[in-house]
Amino acid sequence: MRAAVQFAAIARLACLEAVRRPVFLLVALTVYAGIVLMPFLLHYTLGESARIIRDSALALYFVGGLLLAATAAGEALARELRRGTAATVLAKPVPRAMFFLAKTAGIAAALLLFSLAALAATLLAVRAGASEPQRDWTAALPALLAVILAPALAGAWNHRTHRPFASAAFLLLLLFLLLALGVSAALATPLDHFVFPANFDWPILRVGLLLILCLGMVVALAAALATRLQVAPVLLVCAGVFLCGLMGDCLLGPRLADSWAARATYAVLPNVQAFWLLDALDLAPTIPVDYLLLAAAYAAAWSAAVLCLGLVSFQRLEIS
């Protein structure tokens, strides 16, 4: 029970510290604004606007998420180790393993919140722009208002209470985007040639879930690396590993049959292609639950292995 309280306290603080960093808000706001503005930026899509918006929005979300996962994990561990806050906490009766895992869980929670808002924005943007050149204002207007009002209200709240602006703006963005989704879902689309059942392209959520799992793997790798590296190298290595993972089939596929080194590298690299299933949505109406479970098991196993390495590294780390 005491261990659960300690774990929750450290994880909650890690999550709060992550969303309180200005860079987190900057990246999140850029991603959300980019997604909700997408219907207004695309022209001459030859009836493919829904697919283009969907693919672009999820790509933007994934790149933003990768950036946030790597920097937030790097900040939560590497910077705290350097700044000394980790020493103060570890001088208390907190096992090192718990500290490391709780920090990772806190960052993962922050990424989950980021993902929820990004997926809400994606659903709204796809609905708003699916009938290009017409715009569905019942989806576009609530989304735009959410992205504009959240920072404005957070600024006013900060002016009044002196509480951190960045976390308030981020949490209001999440709240307003979910509210916008609710409001938009309650309104029938005015466009008679709308392409989705029940107003929204809901199968996007299943791809979103897969991307959330993939971002969880990024968090695990970033946390493990941050026990030894600073923020910038953590970001570079994470980006490199997941880029190689994305291109794994292309780079290593032809050599898998006759090279044990290729097979070993292929097994160790995260198989990002398994989580990027947007093309599959064009061929099938949805992604089967069995596949989602298998992908979740793979992500959990890969993350657990990486976290074990991180734990070994952190147990041996000298905190000076």
Residues forming the site for another protein (CB under 8 A) = 2, 5-6, 8-10, 13, 16-17, 20, 83-85, 87-95, 162-164, 167, 318-320
Nearest by Cα to 14 from 92, 78, 82: 78
What minimum distance in Å lies between the beta carbon of 164 and another protein? 5
| Cα–Cα dist 271/18, whole Å | 27
The residue among 8 and 41 lying less far from another protein, judged by its C-beta, is 8
Question: Tell me, what amino acid is at 72?
Answer: A
**Beta carbons within 8 Å of 226's beta carbon, 6+ residues apart:** 73, 74, 76, 77, 78, 234
Asked if residue 125 lies in contact with residue 141, where contact means CB atoms within 8 angstroms, the answer is no
What minimum distance in Å lies between the beta carbon of 17 and another protein? 6
Nearest by Cα to 266 from 282, 255, 276, 277: 255
The residue among 43 and 92 lying less far from another protein, judged by its C-beta, is 92
Q: Which two tokens stand for residue 120?
A: 């809400």
What minimum distance in Å lies between the beta carbon of 178 and another protein? 24
| Cα–Cα dist 147/149, whole Å | 6
The residue among 17 and 136 lying less far from another protein, judged by its C-beta, is 17
The residue among 199 and 227 lying less far from another protein, judged by its C-beta, is 227
| 3-state secondary structure at position 199 | helix
The residue among 155 and 254 lying less far from another protein, judged by its C-beta, is 155
